[in-house]
Amino acid sequence: MKLNRDRITALLMLLPSLILLGIFVYGFIGQTAYTSLTDWGRDPAQALALHPEIRFTGFETYKELFTGLIDVRFRQDLVNTFFFTLFFIAGCLGLGLGLAILLDQNIVGEGIFRTIFLFPMALSFIVTGTVWRWLLQPRGGINVLPTLVGLEPLEFRWLTSRRQILQFNWQDLPFFTGLLIAIILLWFMVTAIRKSKWRRVGVAGFSFLLVTVWTFTGARQVELLPYPEIHGFNLAFMGIILAAVWQMSGYTMALYLAGLRGVSEGLREAARVDGASEWQVYRLVILPLVQPITLSAMIILGHISLKIFDLIFAMAGADNATTDVPALLMYLTTFRANQFAKGAAIAMVLLIMVAAVIIPYLWSSLRSEVKQ
């Protein structure tokens, strides 16, 4: 790489934004990471002092978050985020794809429908949250809809239910994680067998066996907490998921529609000539072709759901633990309880989760760009 005039100009042009990014993004990430390793805020007298005494305590705060008695709320929040992400992405992808396929049938007034479906995305989460908060009131909106046709009103507590389903013991987490990894490895093995890549079959099969054995022996021995702790899916999240899917499914539809339009008419015709039914055309020809879109949509929706804050703040308030997520807890811990180190640690956990979604995606898309 030679330094010619062009490169120098380019470097000078980029320098201001590199410096600003370096300080205001990466510098502050670094500062948050450092804060999370200290005890800032543990002693209320030091929390807001002019020159607080801050000690370096290593991973103590993280350990507390994952094992502490009062931090049960943080662990439930992680569980909440997991289920919210799962149902939110599934809802958006399902509804988005369904709408896109319907619009793909060359119906009359497609433009109008497209705009209507896409419109919720133009709203901010605060507006969506406020509107849906009203719609989901215990004695109004959705719950009184059945009375229009003479039925009894619904009794469901969309945002305030205290019921929890899909309960599990936090102690069993290693077991379930092991099970999940084993299933993924098994799937790798099966696809490798189909493609007759025998070396890959061997590696996947061996790892599968290893993980399975560990899951049913070792994982049962791991003690995450000294006592059983029950977590599960809070039904109060149903309302939040409903509103979030309403907002983002139109966007997913737009992504899919672009993908569907990219599939050439020739391919469809060819499949039909080969005797494929319309269902088979979609299942065997079109859906495999729009798979990259599914991945992009999952990444985009995934990082939205991991960071979600404003929607829940507007719908249920910050204080309802049944609809709590780590981002809200971070706000409460930092600005109400003055526990800056703990807030920073929650922020870092969030960052790691979002990075786990984003970085592989960026990496693979950068790599494919270089190839091109």
Partner 1 sequence: MKRLVVSILSILVCSIVLAQGKLEIFSWWAGDEGPALEALINRYTELYPNVQVDNATVTGGSGVNARAVLKTRMLGGDPPDSFQVHAGQELIGTWVVADRMEDLTFLYQEEGWLDKYPQGLIDLISTDKGIWSVPVNIHRSNVMWYNPAKLTEWGISAPETWAEFLTICPSLQAKGVTPLVMGENWTQQHLWESVALGVLGPDDYKALWTGELAFKDPKVEAVWNRFGEILKCSNDDAAGLSWQQATDRIVSGEAAFNIMGDWAAGYMTTTLGLTPAEGFGWAPSPDTGGVFMMLSDSFGLPIGIKDRDNTINWLKLLGSVEGQDLFNPLKGSIAPHFDSDLSKYNAYLQAAAQDWKTNTVVGSMVHGAAAKEAFMSQFATVLEIYLSTGSAQAASNAAQAIANQVNLGK
Minimum CB separation of residue 19 from partner 1 in Å reads 22
Q: Does the protein bind partner 1 through residue 347 (CB under 8 A)?
A: no
- What CA–CA distance (Å, rounded) separates 26 from 267? 47
Q: Which is nearer to partner 1, 213 or 230 (CB)?
A: 230
Candidate residues 335, 355, 364, 368; the one interacting with partner 1 per rule CB under 8 A = 335
- Tell me which stretch binds partner 1 (CB under 8 A): 15-23, 29-37, 121-129, 320-328: 320-328
Residue found under tokens 């948050």: 32
CA distance 28 to 161: 38
Gap between the Cα atoms of 172 and 187, Å rounded? 23
Cβ at position 191, least distance to partner 1 in Å: 42
Minimum gap (Å) between residue 334 Cβ and partner 1: 8
Q: Does 78 bind partner 1 (CB under 8 A)?
A: no
Residue 370 interacts with partner 1 (CB under 8 A)?
Answer: no
Q: Nearest to residue 314, comparing CAs of 221, 211, 244, 225?
A: 244
Q: What is the DSSP string of 302-336?
A: HHHHHH--HHHHHHH-S--GGG--HHHHHHIIIII
Distance of CA 125 to the CA centre of its chain: 16
**Cβ-based nearer residue to partner 1, 298 or 328:** 328
322 forms part of the interface with partner 1 (CB under 8 A) = yes
Could you give the C-alpha distances from 359 to 55, 303, 308, in angstroms and in order?
32, 11, 19
Selected binder of partner 1 within 81, 88, 157, 304 (CB under 8 A): 157
Helix (H) or strand (E) holding 164: strand 164-169
Stretch that binds partner 1, among 19-27, 152-160, 289-297, 364-372 (CB under 8 A): 152-160
Q: Is 338 left (phi over 0), alpha (psi -120 to 50) or beta?
A: left
Contact flag: residue 166 with partner 1 (CB under 8 A):
no
Cβ proximity to partner 1, 46 vs 365, nearer residue: 46
Q: Name which position in 332, 351, 354, 357 contacts partner 1 (CB under 8 A).
A: 332
CA atoms within 13 A on the CB side of 295: 11
**Range 40-69, binding partner 1 (CB under 8 A):** 41-50, 52, 68-69
| Residue 62 CB coordination number (10 Å) | 16
Which pair of structure tokens corresponds to residue 162? 């205290």
- The tally of CA atoms less than 13 A away on the side-chain side of residue 3 is 4
Stretch that binds partner 1, among 26-34, 190-198, 275-283, 327-335 (CB under 8 A): 327-335
320 touching partner 1, by CB under 8 A: yes
Q: What span, in angstroms and rounded, lies between the C-alpha atoms of 15 and 166? A: 51
Q: How many residues bind partner 1 (CB under 8 A)?
A: 39
**Minimum Å distance from CB 353 to partner 1?**
22
Closest by CA position to 323, among listed 243, 233, 227: 233
Structure-token pair, residue 45: 């007298």
Binding segment toward partner 1, per CB under 8 A, in 54-62, 134-142, 254-262, 303-311: 134-142
The answer to whether 162 contacts partner 1 (rule: CB under 8 A) is yes
Contact residue for partner 1 among 130, 169, 338, 365 (CB under 8 A) = 338
Residue appearing with tokens 């009375």:
147
- Pick the closer one to partner 1 by CB: 197 or 336: 336
Q: SS3 of 215, please?
A: helix
Q: Closer to partner 1 at the Cβ: 57 or 164?
A: 164
Nearer to partner 1, 58 or 275 (CB): 58
Site for partner 1 in 260-319 (CB under 8 A): 316-319
Is 137 near partner 1 (CB under 8 A)? yes
Cβ distance to partner 1 smaller for residue 57 or 365: 57
Helices 198-216 and 173-194: crossing angle, nearest 10°?
A: 160
Residues that bind partner 1 (CB under 8 A): 41-50, 52, 68-70, 72-73, 137-139, 157, 159-160, 162, 164, 236, 316-322, 331-332, 335-339
